C-alpha cells in the first residue's frame, strides 16, 4: 500500500526530473551553436570592405546582415570639399550656377546618398555604444570588437556554447 508520505516523495522526484528535463531542453533549443543569430550588423571602415566576406557569412548563417561603413560620410564630404576647392569662381552667380548643375548631377546624388548612409551608420554605431571598429553586433545584444565578421561569428558561437554550459553548471545545484 502506498502511503501519503510515499506519494509526496514520488511527486517531488517526478517534479525534479521534469524540471531538469525542461531546463535541459530549453538550453539546448535556445542556446545552440548551430542556431545562427537572427541579425548581424558589421561596423567597419571603407578600407576593410574587401575583407568582410559577407556572401560567405550569409551562406553560413542565413541571417539578416547589415554592413555599415562609419567613415563613408566623412570620405564623401572630403571628396566634395577637395572638388570645390579646385574650382575658381569669379562671382556669386557662377557659384550658384555651378551648385545648381552639381545638385542635378547623378554622381553628386550618389555621393549625397553615401553621405546620408554614412551618417546613419555612425548614429547606429553610437546607439550601441561602439567605440572601436571593426565591431560586429549579433542580435542587437552581443558585440565582438577587433575581428572581421567570420572570426567574430566563431567567437560569438563559442561564447554561446560556454554560456550554455555555464548556465547548466550553475543550475545543477537547484534540485
pLDDT tens readout for residues 97-139: 888 887 788 888 887 787 778 778 888 888 889 988 899 999 8
Question: Does pLDDT of 12 surpass 80?
Answer: no
Q: What is the mean pLDDT of residues 69-85?
A: 78
Q: What's the pLDDT at 149?
A: 93
Q: What's the pLDDT at 116?
A: 79
Element (H, E) at 72: helix 72-86
Q: What's the pLDDT at 13?
A: 65
Question: Does pLDDT of 25 surpass 70?
Answer: no
| Percent of the chain whose pLDDT exceeds 90 | 13
Q: How far apart are CA 155 and CA 120, in angstroms?
A: 27
* Domain ranges across the chain: 36-156
Q: What's the pLDDT at 28?
A: 45
**What's the length of the chain?**
175
Q: Which residues make beta-bridge pairs with 68?
A: 43
Q: How far apart are CA 47 and CA 148, in angstroms?
A: 13
Sequence-distant (≥ 6) Cβ neighbours of residue 30 within 8 angstroms: none
Tell me which residue of 97, 38, 88, 46 sits closest to 67, measured CA to CA: 46
- Domain over 36-156 is classified CATH 3.10.20: no
Q: What's the pLDDT at 169?
A: 52
Q: Which residue has the higher pLDDT, 112 or 61?
A: 61
Q: What would the DSSP string read from start to end of 127-148?
A: HHT--SSSEEEETTTEEEESS-
Question: Does pLDDT of 41 surpass 90?
Answer: yes
Question: Does pLDDT of 68 surpass 60?
Answer: yes
Q: Which residue has the higher pLDDT, 173 or 107?
A: 107
Average pLDDT, rounded, for the chain: 76
Which pairs count as long-range contacts for 44-49, CB under 8 Å and 24+ apart, including other chains?
Answer: 44/68, 44/69, 44/70, 44/133, 44/134, 44/135, 45/69, 45/70, 45/71, 45/133, 45/134, 46/71, 46/72, 46/75, 47/71, 48/134, 48/148
CA 101 to chain centre: 39
Residue 38 φ/ψ, nearest 5 degrees: -70, -40
Element (H, E) at 67: strand 64-69
pTM: 0.61
Least confident of 94-98, 122-126, 144-148, 160-164: 160-164
Amino acid at each position: 500500500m502506498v502511503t501519503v508520505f510515499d506519494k509526496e516523495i514520488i511527486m517531488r522526484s517526478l517534479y525534479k526530473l521534469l524540471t531538469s528535463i525542461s531546463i535541459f531542453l530549453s538550453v539546448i533549443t535556445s542556446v545552440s551553436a548551430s542556431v545562427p543569430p537572427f541579425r548581424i550588423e558589421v561596423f567597419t571602415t571603407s578600407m576593410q570592405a574587401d575583407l568582410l566576406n559577407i556572401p560567405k557569412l550569409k551562406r553560413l548563417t542565413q541571417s539578416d546582415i547589415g554592413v555599415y561603413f562609419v567613415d563613408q560620410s566623412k570620405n564623401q564630404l572630403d571628396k566634395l570639399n577637395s572638388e570645390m576647392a579646385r574650382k575658381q569662381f569669379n562671382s556669386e552667380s557662377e557659384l550658384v550656377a555651378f551648385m545648381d548643375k552639381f545638385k542635378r548631377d547623378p554622381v553628386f546624388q550618389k555621393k549625397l546618398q553615401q553621405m546620408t548612409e554614412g551618417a546613419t551608420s555612425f548614429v547606429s554605431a553610437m546607439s550601441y555604444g561602439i567605440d572601436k571598429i571593426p565591431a560586429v553586433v549579433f542580435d542587437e545584444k552581443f558585440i565582438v570588437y577587433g575581428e572581421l565578421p567570420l572570426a567574430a561569428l566563431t567567437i560569438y558561437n563559442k561564447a554561446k556554447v560556454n554560456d550554455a554550459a555555464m548556465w547548466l553548471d550553475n543550475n545543477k545545484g537547484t534540485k
